[in-house]
Amino acid sequence: MIKRGVTITKIEYRKATLEDAELLIDIYNASFYCDYLRFGACPGYGKSKMAMEESIREQSKHIILYDDVPVGCVSCKKIEQRVYEIGALCVVPEYQHRGIGTQAIRFVKTYYKDWKRLTLVTPLNKKENVTFYTEKCGFSIVSAESDENVELYRFVLDR
Protein backbone atom coordinates (compact mmCIF):
# COMPACT_ATOMS: atom_id res chain seq x y z
CA MET A 1 0.00 0.00 0.00
CA ILE A 2 1.14 3.54 -0.67
CA LYS A 3 -0.31 6.62 0.95
CA ARG A 4 0.97 10.11 0.11
CA GLY A 5 4.29 8.82 -1.11
CA VAL A 6 4.92 6.74 2.01
CA THR A 7 4.99 2.97 1.91
CA ILE A 8 2.74 1.48 4.56
CA THR A 9 3.70 -1.98 5.69
CA LYS A 10 1.51 -4.54 7.35
CA ILE A 11 2.69 -6.35 10.49
CA GLU A 12 0.65 -9.34 11.59
CA TYR A 13 1.04 -12.16 14.11
CA ARG A 14 0.16 -15.80 13.60
CA LYS A 15 0.13 -18.29 16.45
CA ALA A 16 2.76 -20.94 15.77
CA THR A 17 1.83 -24.62 15.53
CA LEU A 18 4.02 -27.70 15.61
CA GLU A 19 4.09 -27.58 11.80
CA ASP A 20 5.99 -24.27 12.10
CA ALA A 21 8.96 -25.84 13.93
CA GLU A 22 11.34 -25.76 10.94
CA LEU A 23 10.31 -22.20 10.00
CA LEU A 24 10.94 -21.09 13.58
CA ILE A 25 14.34 -22.81 13.60
CA ASP A 26 15.27 -20.81 10.48
CA ILE A 27 14.05 -17.54 12.05
CA TYR A 28 15.83 -18.21 15.36
CA ASN A 29 19.07 -19.28 13.66
CA ALA A 30 19.14 -16.17 11.47
CA SER A 31 18.23 -13.90 14.39
CA PHE A 32 20.59 -15.38 16.99
CA TYR A 33 23.59 -16.31 14.83
CA CYS A 34 25.58 -13.22 15.86
CA ASP A 35 24.90 -13.98 19.54
CA TYR A 36 26.10 -17.54 19.00
CA LEU A 37 29.33 -16.26 17.45
CA ARG A 38 29.78 -13.58 20.10
CA PHE A 39 29.06 -15.66 23.20
CA GLY A 40 29.88 -19.17 22.01
CA ALA A 41 26.41 -20.28 23.11
CA CYS A 42 22.89 -19.02 22.64
CA PRO A 43 19.75 -20.82 23.78
CA GLY A 44 17.87 -19.60 20.70
CA TYR A 45 20.44 -20.82 18.19
CA GLY A 46 20.83 -24.35 16.85
CA LYS A 47 17.67 -25.91 18.29
CA SER A 48 16.71 -29.31 16.98
CA LYS A 49 13.27 -29.84 15.50
CA MET A 50 12.30 -31.86 18.59
CA ALA A 51 13.48 -29.07 20.92
CA MET A 52 11.57 -26.43 18.95
CA GLU A 53 8.40 -28.55 18.99
CA GLU A 54 8.74 -28.88 22.76
CA SER A 55 9.23 -25.11 23.03
CA ILE A 56 6.07 -24.54 20.96
CA ARG A 57 4.15 -26.81 23.36
CA GLU A 58 5.53 -25.02 26.46
CA GLN A 59 5.11 -21.38 25.45
CA SER A 60 2.87 -19.39 23.22
CA LYS A 61 4.81 -18.41 20.10
CA HIS A 62 3.65 -15.96 17.47
CA ILE A 63 5.31 -15.68 14.10
CA ILE A 64 5.77 -12.06 13.05
CA LEU A 65 4.72 -11.44 9.45
CA TYR A 66 5.94 -8.29 7.70
CA ASP A 67 3.95 -7.78 4.51
CA ASP A 68 3.09 -11.51 4.73
CA VAL A 69 6.77 -12.54 5.00
CA PRO A 70 7.74 -14.42 8.22
CA VAL A 71 10.51 -12.26 9.71
CA GLY A 72 10.47 -12.94 13.44
CA CYS A 73 8.90 -14.48 16.49
CA VAL A 74 7.75 -13.42 19.91
CA SER A 75 7.21 -16.07 22.57
CA CYS A 76 5.70 -15.68 25.98
CA LYS A 77 4.62 -17.82 28.87
CA LYS A 78 2.68 -17.22 32.03
CA ILE A 79 4.94 -17.66 35.05
CA GLU A 80 2.41 -16.70 37.71
CA GLN A 81 -0.94 -14.94 37.99
CA ARG A 82 -0.83 -11.90 35.64
CA VAL A 83 2.95 -12.20 35.17
CA TYR A 84 4.34 -13.21 31.77
CA GLU A 85 7.89 -13.82 30.64
CA ILE A 86 8.92 -12.98 27.11
CA GLY A 87 11.13 -15.94 26.25
CA ALA A 88 12.23 -14.69 22.85
CA LEU A 89 11.70 -11.67 20.71
CA CYS A 90 13.65 -12.03 17.51
CA VAL A 91 13.64 -10.44 14.09
CA VAL A 92 15.90 -11.62 11.28
CA PRO A 93 18.73 -9.10 10.71
CA GLU A 94 17.61 -7.79 7.32
CA TYR A 95 14.27 -6.68 8.86
CA GLN A 96 15.63 -5.13 12.06
CA HIS A 97 15.41 -1.37 12.76
CA ARG A 98 11.96 -1.09 11.16
CA GLY A 99 9.88 -0.92 14.36
CA ILE A 100 8.94 -4.61 14.24
CA GLY A 101 10.27 -5.37 17.74
CA THR A 102 8.55 -2.35 19.27
CA GLN A 103 5.31 -3.41 17.61
CA ALA A 104 5.79 -6.96 18.95
CA ILE A 105 5.98 -5.64 22.53
CA ARG A 106 2.73 -3.73 21.89
CA PHE A 107 1.22 -6.96 20.57
CA VAL A 108 2.19 -8.85 23.76
CA LYS A 109 0.63 -6.09 25.88
CA THR A 110 -2.68 -6.39 24.02
CA TYR A 111 -2.67 -10.18 23.53
CA TYR A 112 -2.22 -10.86 27.26
CA LYS A 113 -4.98 -8.54 28.41
CA ASP A 114 -4.63 -9.44 32.11
CA TRP A 115 -0.89 -8.73 32.39
CA LYS A 116 0.33 -6.90 35.44
CA ARG A 117 4.04 -7.54 34.85
CA LEU A 118 6.14 -8.51 31.83
CA THR A 119 9.67 -9.77 32.35
CA LEU A 120 12.56 -10.95 30.17
CA VAL A 121 16.33 -11.34 30.12
CA THR A 122 18.93 -10.26 27.60
CA PRO A 123 22.75 -10.23 27.62
CA LEU A 124 23.98 -7.20 29.57
CA ASN A 125 26.68 -6.35 27.04
CA LYS A 126 24.19 -6.17 24.14
CA LYS A 127 23.80 -2.42 24.43
CA GLU A 128 21.33 -2.27 21.52
CA ASN A 129 18.98 -4.64 23.39
CA VAL A 130 19.34 -2.73 26.66
CA THR A 131 18.53 0.54 24.86
CA PHE A 132 15.62 -1.06 22.99
CA TYR A 133 13.94 -2.48 26.10
CA THR A 134 14.54 0.52 28.37
CA GLU A 135 14.17 3.50 26.03
CA LYS A 136 11.75 2.24 23.37
CA CYS A 137 9.64 -0.18 25.40
CA GLY A 138 9.72 1.25 28.94
CA PHE A 139 11.22 -1.74 30.78
CA SER A 140 13.43 -1.30 33.86
CA ILE A 141 16.49 -3.35 34.74
CA VAL A 142 15.90 -5.04 38.09
CA SER A 143 18.81 -7.48 38.44
CA ALA A 144 21.76 -9.22 36.84
CA GLU A 145 21.83 -12.99 36.33
CA SER A 146 24.04 -15.56 34.71
CA ASP A 147 23.15 -18.25 32.18
CA GLU A 148 26.08 -20.53 31.40
CA ASN A 149 28.83 -18.14 30.29
CA VAL A 150 26.57 -15.15 29.55
CA GLU A 151 25.78 -12.36 32.00
CA LEU A 152 22.18 -11.21 31.69
CA TYR A 153 20.01 -8.34 32.81
CA ARG A 154 16.49 -9.05 34.03
CA PHE A 155 13.99 -6.49 32.73
CA VAL A 156 10.54 -5.79 34.13
CA LEU A 157 7.62 -3.74 32.89
CA ASP A 158 4.80 -3.14 35.37
CA ARG A 159 1.38 -1.91 34.41
Task: Dump pLDDT digits (tens) for 21-37.
Answer: 999 999 999 999 988 88
Task: Dump pLDDT digits (tens) for 116-147.
Answer: 999 999 988 889 999 999 999 999 999 998 87
What is the secondary structure of the chain as a DSSP string? -EETTEE---EEEEE--GGGHHHHHHHHHHHHHHHHHHHS--TTSS--HHHHHHHHHHSEEEEEEETTEEEEEEEEEEEETTEEEEEEEEE-GGG-SSSHHHHHHHHHHHHSTT-SEEEEEEETT-HHHHHIIIIIT--EEEEEEEETTEEEEEEEEE-
Pairing between β-strand 117-123 and β-strand 83-91 as defined by DSSP bridges? parallel
% of the chain at pLDDT higher than 90: 79
Which one of 3.65.10.10, 2.60.40.3080, 3.40.50.150, 3.40.630.30 gives the CATH number of domain 2-158? 3.40.630.30
Q: For position 124, what pLDDT does the model report?
A: 86
The pTM score is 0.89
What residues contact residue 1 under an 8 Å CB cut-off, 6+ apart?
A: 7, 8, 10
